[in-house]
Chains A and B, each alone.
Chain A
């Protein structure tokens, strides 16, 4: 027994130690990854980000060098602080604060002292830099904008945040990532692939040499240039027309689905989000909750489409065979469809309209009749509703279009299930849903969906998914943008509707907007809208909506314009659409009268009304809105300091 004690302890210790080692070396993985190895540093080599061109080969976004002043606190020798501060344009307190921060981070490692100097600042500093030991200048690449428009399309780049780091393993803290617009959508294409060098360090973080002679090192892959479908001149013109207005313009090439212009107003100069001033400017834009410059209205704003949607009902009516070109309905200054239900119309009572005339005059009664016939063609309202919904969806409405920009809304097209849940099964009829006939009520769409609808009509029956990418260097654009989407409507049924829209321009609601030499087809619209003041629903001036395409015989452009609180369709939106079409098709403006009207016109007064705190009139004074009479809690006024 005595002889065995030590022997057994030896064996036990050996087993325990091997157990501990198998935990450390086999089970615990925290120390296995070379990137976690404190002795190995990965040094990244960032390739240049791809350039962005417009459809005509105009360079929109390039890169510019930027210069960071770096500091290694341990190597700093006593210096002429005042002169140095003057060169860097900082105060002595700031200098001390920055220096302390760098020291706390690490005396041995470089930290950014003053980020992103301008070229001018760099030029002055460069000559004197050698005087300041421990400081040096590091070059970085920033975006350089050759254009001042299209910020919502282009997007911007900024440092990755913690969420990105968790989501994508590619990025390291402090690296740049594309945000919004094509910078975000085509991030992988534009950024290329960074190269990496592994470097062996000692415990003082001094470089000893390459790790394993560089067998794991990779070379950077440069970012690819991309060409956008955007027409920079058209975009510029659109943004110019939208000054002092809020809203959006979406212009498409109907033959390809290419986005020619995507204006969101108010917008901002993309150059604001570059360099040292980026963070300050971004905060300002971000917190502007009234004008919302970062909100892309062309993609995100959901509204009842209003009258332009009547064309869809006309098409469905024709396809379902419930009306034909010569079907006429009588308008009684509106349409009565129940004991107390009446849908008003501006046609004089007793007007008899056929289809063309119905579209031209935007007659509510005509489309109420049509819609009712569509739904009631089927044995139950539910079946009718679903058939109708299927037709509407084939126009790309009611769901995400699938374009290549990172934001958007689905819009909404109701179906039988929706009304079943609202009214109960079999408890509703065509009349309950009649506002769908004129694009009000439950129907919602975004401007780009409206533009796409217009393109579909221009094409007489099909569309290509709208997209912003035209070419990728050494690569092809995604296949889904080359796919033709056919609607459920036969091509022959489009002609009467196109004729009706042509009449809108030549005899109807937009006859004052004609452009000499171009045959345009269009449709006006207005959308009622409301806001909340002091918790109460208050109506504001209608939105002005207009869709158009041209030339009618060979469409080159399809456009949707909406101007917030612009009142009726042809007043603002129609004019803008006409000028945009003239700009794109002719390249020059002959209707300078219209142009002047727009450039001088401003809706700022209109936008100030709901913020004024006083009662106001809307729709050109026709309606009076009383300011909600509620006690306003008075803010205690600040006493002036003695």
Chain B
């Protein structure tokens, strides 16, 4: 055991503990009503969150004490159980705020999608690390896609598209394990096409693509690589067709609220009055959260001194918008510190993943880093108004038992694997 304590990555644990602690402080502030009571008061968010933190500690001990091989061996079963739990929601699920994403057990609720991420990561790691699997082989690649998308497909109709979006994080893992860069390029191209169609319209997208492909043809000819004109023409036609269908989908399939989110994000509305109107209605959350963060200034207003936090101006401030509390009360110092802590943790996990001797541990570690990064980037991007509104929590920070426990499990399975890396040779 003392051997284990020496090998486990204390740096990651320290970062984890810091994030959880700072997160709890901010939940305390965001849900503080002015009456000083016991911090364990189960009536309040901060009281409940403290209970979840204690449960997490117990869970950490459990995870770390299980034999490392267990996770690899039982990954398929864990994955299946996880899928079943997601399926079961359609029968036993409890509807909260319009989404059937929870099981109600006693007074507690449990959100299986928070744990499915870890299960999917285990299954994917198991599959990709198999000596027989070749990611360059389309058949295997297809299987990997299935593993990733099954839980996502079960989550989307709950409906919880935000949580499903997180599964896109696994593309980083596939790429790391040898996915052809073309897939990423195509993915990037699709996103760029989508956004630029909304911004500039199909005609400009067509002209832009033609110019780009013309340049590709010119340079490929110089380097004497073969790119035929018909190929490029087909790409151009597909791109234009896609751009056209984006217009159609945006105007006919999307609902007004979706359109509003995009027009807010991309500033599609030219009329400043209308834009301001959207900012204060559809964009109310973002508007309030930006104002709260902005009002923090350099040093912030101080713990429990955030006026907008106290006045509950930012909706969902203890969950998805918890970062705005950091912004208001701790200022630029606090926000950049949190961003640095997250970046350090994710980079540390990448470093740990790369030093793994076994492919399973490496792939799993990479998945953990990717998932945490995805959550962090999308959540903070949304709160500071850089990305459209997507309802996913900030790992370790946001209020919520399932979220905290899910991320704890995700992270500590990897830390256990990492602590065990030498033993693998024995």
Output the nearest chain B residue to A1 by Cβ-Cβ distance: B181
Q: Is B305 positioned at the interface, with any CB of A under 8 Å from its CB?
A: yes
What chain B residues lie within 8 Å of A622 (beta carbons)? Answer: none
Q: CB distance B313 to A203 under 8 Å?
A: yes
Q: CB distance B312 to A203 under 8 Å?
A: yes
Output the nearest chain A residue to B176 by Cβ-Cβ distance: A2
Q: CB distance B311 to A25 under 8 Å?
A: no
Say how far B217's CB is from chain A's closest CB, in angstroms.
Answer: 26
Q: CB distance B336 to A202 under 8 Å?
A: no
Interface segment, A3-11, A429-437, A613-621?
A: A3-11
- Encoded as 1 (CB less than 8 Å from any B CB) or 0, chain A from 1 to 28 comes to 0110111011101101110111011101
Contact-residue size bin, chain B (C-beta under 8 Å from the other chain): 35 or more
Name A6's contact: one of B176, B331, B335 (CB within 8 Å). Answer: B176
Q: CB distance B176 to A3 under 8 Å?
A: yes
Q: How far is A11 from B346 in the complex, measured between Cα atoms in Å?
A: 10
Say how far B381's CB is from chain A's closest CB, in angstroms.
Answer: 7
Q: Is A173 positioned at the interface, with any CB of B under 8 Å from its CB?
A: no
Q: Is B134 positioned at the interface, with any CB of A under 8 Å from its CB?
A: no
Interface segment, A34-42, A108-116, A117-125, A519-527?
A: A34-42
Q: Is B107 positioned at the interface, with any CB of A under 8 Å from its CB?
A: no
Q: CB distance A21 to B313 under 8 Å?
A: no
Q: Is A166 positioned at the interface, with any CB of B under 8 Å from its CB?
A: no
What chain B residues lie within 8 Å of A28 (beta carbons)? Answer: 294
Q: Is B151 positioned at the interface, with any CB of A under 8 Å from its CB?
A: no
What chain B residues lie within 8 Å of A634 (beta carbons)? Answer: none
Provided the pairs A25-B331, A31-B295 are in contact, do residues A40 and B347 lie with their beta carbons within 8 angstroms?
A: no
With most chain B CB atoms within 10 A of its CB, the pick from A10, A16, A18, A202 is A10
Name A211's contact: one of B292, B307, B332, B366 (CB within 8 Å). Answer: B307
Q: CB distance A25 to B386 under 8 Å?
A: no
What chain B residues lie within 8 Å of A3 (beta carbons)? Answer: 176, 354
Q: How far is A31 from B343 in the complex, measured between Cα atoms in Å?
A: 28
Q: CB distance B297 to A25 under 8 Å?
A: yes
What chain A residues lie within 8 Å of B298 (beta carbons)? Answer: 25-26
What chain B residues lie within 8 Å of A201 (beta carbons)? Answer: 311
Q: CB distance A22 to B332 under 8 Å?
A: yes
What chain B residues lie within 8 Å of A26 (beta carbons)? Answer: 297-298, 332
- Encoded as 1 (CB less than 8 Å from any B CB) or 0, chain A from 163 to 202 comes to 0000000000000000000000000000000000000111
What chain A residues lie within 8 Å of B291 (beta carbons)? Answer: 31, 38
Say how far A264's CB is from chain B's closest CB, in angstroms.
Answer: 47
What chain A residues lie within 8 Å of B16 (beta carbons)? Answer: none
- Encoded as 1 (CB less than 8 Å from any A CB) or 0, chain B from 49 to 72 comes to 000000000000000000000000
B residues 280-315 with Cβ under 8 Å of A?
290-298, 305, 307-308, 310-313
What chain A residues lie within 8 Å of B294 (beta carbons)? Answer: 24-25, 28, 30-32
What chain A residues lie within 8 Å of B343 (beta carbons)? Answer: 10-11, 13-14
Q: Is A209 positioned at the interface, with any CB of B under 8 Å from its CB?
A: yes
- Encoded as 1 (CB less than 8 Å from any B CB) or 0, chain A from 422 to 465 comes to 00000000000000000000000000000000000000000000
Q: Is B124 positioned at the interface, with any CB of A under 8 Å from its CB?
A: no
Q: CB distance B335 to A14 under 8 Å?
A: no
Q: CB distance A37 to B176 under 8 Å?
A: no
Q: Is A208 positioned at the interface, with any CB of B under 8 Å from its CB?
A: yes
Q: CB distance B311 to A203 under 8 Å?
A: yes
Q: Is B370 positioned at the interface, with any CB of A under 8 Å from its CB?
A: yes
Q: Is B237 positioned at the interface, with any CB of A under 8 Å from its CB?
A: no
Say how far B29's CB is from chain A's closest CB, in angstroms.
Answer: 14
Q: Is A212 positioned at the interface, with any CB of B under 8 Å from its CB?
A: yes
Name B332's contact: one of A5, A21, A34, A212 (CB within 8 Å). Answer: A21
Q: How far is A50 from B340 in the complex, measured between Cα atoms in Å?
A: 59
Output the nearest chain A residue to B178 by Cβ-Cβ distance: A2
What chain A residues lie within 8 Å of B386 (beta carbons)? Answer: 16-17, 20
Q: How far is A161 from B373 in the complex, measured between Cα atoms in Å?
A: 54
Q: Is B11 positioned at the interface, with any CB of A under 8 Å from its CB?
A: no
What chain A residues lie within 8 Å of B172 (beta carbons)? Answer: 5-6
Name A25's contact: one of B313, B332, B385 (CB within 8 Å). Answer: B332
Q: CB distance B339 to A18 under 8 Å?
A: yes
Q: CB distance A200 to B297 under 8 Å?
A: no
With most chain B CB atoms within 10 A of its CB, the pick from A9, A20, A28 is A20
Q: How far is A16 from B291 in the complex, measured between Cα atoms in Å?
A: 19
Q: CB distance A7 to B175 under 8 Å?
A: no
What chain B residues lie within 8 Å of A6 (beta carbons)? Answer: 172, 176, 350, 366, 369-370, 373
What chain B residues lie within 8 Å of A38 (beta carbons)? Answer: 291, 308, 311, 313
Q: How far is A212 from B310 in the complex, measured between Cα atoms in Å?
A: 12
Q: CB distance A32 to B295 under 8 Å?
A: yes
What chain A residues lie within 8 Å of B312 (beta carbons)? Answer: 202-203
Q: How far is A202 from B306 in the complex, measured between Cα atoms in Å?
A: 12
Q: Is B89 positioned at the interface, with any CB of A under 8 Å from its CB?
A: no
Provided the pairs A18-B336, A208-B34 are in contact, do residues A200 and B310 lie with their beta carbons within 8 angstroms?
A: yes
Q: Is B384 positioned at the interface, with any CB of A under 8 Å from its CB?
A: yes
Q: CB distance A32 to B297 under 8 Å?
A: yes
What chain A residues lie within 8 Å of B369 (beta carbons)? Answer: 6
- Encoded as 1 (CB less than 8 Å from any A CB) or 0, chain B from 315 to 340 comes to 00000000000010001100110011
List the 4 shortest-distance A-B pairs measured between CB atoms, nearest first. Answer: A31-B294, A39-B307, A39-B311, A31-B295
* 22 pairs from A and B in contact (CB 8 Å cutoff): A6-B176, A6-B366, A7-B347, A10-B350, A13-B377, A17-B386, A20-B384, A20-B385, A24-B327, A24-B385, A25-B297, A31-B294, A32-B294, A32-B295, A32-B297, A34-B307, A37-B295, A37-B307, A38-B291, A38-B311, A208-B34, A211-B307
| Other A-B pairs, 10, CB within 8 Å; known A18-B335, A200-B311, A202-B313 | A3-B354, A5-B175, A6-B366, A17-B339, A21-B339, A31-B294, A32-B295, A201-B311, A208-B310, A212-B305
